[in-house]
Amino acid sequence: MSQTQIRFSGSGGQGLILSARILAAALAARGKFVAQSQAYEPTSRGGLSRSDLVVSDREVDYPLVTSLDCVVILDQVAVAASEGLLRPDTVTITDAARVSAPPGEPRRVLALPITGKARGIGNIRVANIVALGALAELAGIIDPDSLRETMLDLVPPRFRDLNAEAFDAGREMAATLENA
Partner 1 sequence: MSNPTNIQGNAAAAAGAIAAGCRFYAGYPITPSSEIAEQMAARLPKAGGTFIQMEDELGSMAATVGASLGGVKAMTATSGPGFSLKQENLGYAAMTETPCVIVNVMRGGPSTGLPTRPAQADIMQARWGTHGDHPIIVLAPHTVREIYEETIRAFNLAEALRTPVVVLYDETIGHLVETVTLKEPEEIITRKWAEGPREDYLPYAAGADMIPAFPRPGDGYRTHTTGLTHDERGFPTQDPEKVAAFMERLLGKLETHRDLIEKNELVETDGADVLIVAIGTPARAAKSAIRELRDEGIRAGLFRPVTLWPFPEEALKAAAKGKRAVLVPEMNAGQMILEVERVLAGEAPVTGLNVFNGEPITPAQIAAAVKELAK
Site residues, partner 1 (CB under 8 A): 1, 21, 24-25, 27-29, 31-39, 42, 59-64, 66
Shortest Å, Cβ 31 to partner 1: 7
CB closer to partner 1, 26 vs 72: 26
Backbone dihedral angles phi then psi of residue 25, each to the nearest 5 degrees: -65, -40
Phi, psi of 95 (to 5 degrees): -85, 125
Report which of 29, 27, 26, 30 is spatially closest to residue 55, judged by C-alpha positions.
27
Give the gyration radius of the chain's Cα atoms: 15
Provide, rounded to whole angstroms, the least separation between the CB of residue 25 and partner 1: 6
Which of 31, 156 has the CB closer to partner 1? Answer: 31
Name which of 28 and 124 has its Cβ closer to partner 1: 28
Q: How far is the CB of 150 from partner 1 (least distance, A)?
A: 11
* In the complex, minimum distance from the CB of residue 30 to partner 1, in angstroms, rounded to a whole number: 10
Of the two residues 35 and 169, which places its CB atom closer to partner 1 in the complex?
35
**Calpha distance 50→73 (Å, rounded):** 9
How buried is residue 106: exposed, middle or buried, by Cβ count under 10 Å (0-12/13-18/19+)? exposed
